Amino acid sequence: MNASTLIVLLIVIVIAAFAMRSSIGHFKGEGGCCGGGETILPDEKELAGTKIGEKTVHIEGMHCENCKNRVERAINRIDGAVGKVNLKKNIAVVSFEREVSDEEIRKAVEEQDYKVLSIE
């Protein structure tokens, strides 16, 4: 192996190490995945009336805090509903003070480009 081949090999190894480090952070939910480097937190919302029910929404496609926040903001825009997302379990728990249809929840989540697998 000559010197120029060795130098090229070292450069490739260094580049691969940086790429791997960045990828690991991405899959841990760190960094600017799915919407940029700045994380926009959902508005803090509470039910104005009495909670009459709760639904669990199983969601596919969330990878990071930005994804979590997008889904929470979408659910919180539904009148009479509040959503809390658990990113590790890929679920959203939707509490509501009026009857909220599964279709209304599904539409809010899927408009954000995530897939609703089921609603219980």
Q: Rounded to whole angstroms, how far apart are CA atoms 24 and 98?
A: 42
Per-domain boundaries in the chain? 1-30, 53-119
Instruction: Name which residue leads in pLDDT, 38 or 61.
Output: 61
On whether the 53-119 domain is CATH 2.70.240.10, my answer is no
- Say yes or no to pLDDT of 38 above 60: no
Can you give the pLDDT at residue 17?
85
pLDDT value, residue 43: 66
Edge-first strand listing for the sheet containing 53-60: 81-86, 91-96, 53-60, 115-119
pLDDT recorded at residue 28:
58
Q: What is the mean pLDDT of residues 26-46?
A: 61
**What is the average per-residue pLDDT within 39-62?**
85
User: 10 Å Cβ neighbour count for 47?
Assistant: 14
How confident is the model at residue 108, as a pLDDT?
97
